[in-house]
A and B are shown apart, each in its own frame.
Chain A
Amino acid sequence: MRRDEFEVDTRGRLVTDITDRVRAFVAETEWDGLLHVFVPHATAGLALMETGSGSEEDLRDLLERLLPREDRYRHRHGSAGHGGDHLLPAFVSPSLTLPVDAGRMVLGTWQSVVIVDPNRENNRRRVRLTLAPLSS
């Protein structure tokens, strides 16, 4: 297995596309296998979605409906609505696994690997990658 860890600045963005960084790690070998992506944070998740065509803003609207940024949460740290940030990982998991074929991620044409991070009190996120080769 191979491992890597890097930091991402998510300042000002609900959705941060990390596809290029992940693709570069996978391309360091020509392995077939499974790539695991993990963020060790309680207020962010990982997703596969199309970016650059308006869906980021649509996701913001959806999350505002599902987890309104209001003073309704029992979790009391941070600003009003921050309690909702702590519920996001229950729906958008911080753990994601992808197939890898000869050093390339098997992603759909319109799929990007993204961090979904509604929490503006922590803009520095760590991403941990693990590439597990399949034995032939």
Chain B
Amino acid sequence: MRTGKIDVDTPGPLVTDITAQVQGWVEDLEGDGLLNLFLPHATAGLALMETGTGSDQDLVAAMERILPRHDRYLHSHGYVVHGRDHLLPVLVSPSMIMPVHGGELVIGTYQSVVIVDPNRDNNHRTVILSFLQD
């Protein structure tokens, strides 16, 4: 098993596309197998979604409905609506596996690997990569 990590800036508002960084890491492996991506963070998740065609902003609006920005949360560290950030990983998991074939990430035409990160108190995220080689 090969392991590594990628450091990512997530300036916001919510979605940061990390497809190129993940593909870059995978290209050096030249193998087949399964890649686990993991975020060791309590206020961010990983997803596969289309980017660059409005869905990034649509996800911001959807999160406002599902996890509204107000002061109802009991978690009271950080800025006033930070409690909602701590609920995000329950809905958008920080753990995800993707297939790798011939040294390339297996990914659909309209899929991008993204970090979903609503927390503006922490814009520096680490992705832990573990490659289980065939």
A residues sitting closer than 8 Å to B (CB atoms) are 1, 3, 34, 36, 38-42, 66-67, 72-77, 83-84, 86-87, 89-91, 93-95, 97, 128, 130, 132
A6 CB → nearest B CB, Å: 14
Determine whether B19 belongs to the interface, using a CB cutoff of 8 Å to chain A.
no
Interface residues on B, range: 20 to 34
Taking a contact as CB atoms closer than 8 A, the residue among A1, A42, A95 that contacts B32 in the complex is A1
Q: In this complex, which of A1, A39, A72, A87 has the most chain B Cβ atoms within 10 angstroms of its Cβ?
A: A87
| Given A40-B109, A42-B110, A91-B91, 7 additional A-B pairs, CB 8 A | A1-B32, A41-B111, A87-B62, A91-B92, A93-B93, A95-B97, A132-B132
**Which residues 86-122 of B sit at the A interface, judged by CB distance below 8 A?**
91-93, 96-99, 101, 106-111, 116
Are A90 and B92 interface neighbours, CB within 8 A? yes
Are B108 and A90 interface neighbours, CB within 8 A? no
Smallest CB gap from B47: residue in A: A90
B45 CB → nearest A CB, Å: 8
Cα–Cα distance between A102 and B116 once the two chains are bound (Å): 37
Are A86 and B98 interface neighbours, CB within 8 A? no
Cα–Cα distance between A83 and B110 once the two chains are bound (Å): 13
Cα–Cα distance between A95 and B92 once the two chains are bound (Å): 12
**Which residues 58-95 of B sit at the A interface, judged by CB distance below 8 A?**
58-59, 61-62, 65-66, 91-93
Determine whether B11 belongs to the interface, using a CB cutoff of 8 Å to chain A.
no
B64 CB → nearest A CB, Å: 12
Query: Across chains A and B, which 6 residue pairs bring their CB atoms closest together, nearest first?
Result: A40-B108, A74-B54, A42-B110, A75-B54, A86-B55, A42-B50
When A42-B111, A90-B49 are in contact, do A75 and B55 touch as well, CB less than 8 Å? Answer: yes
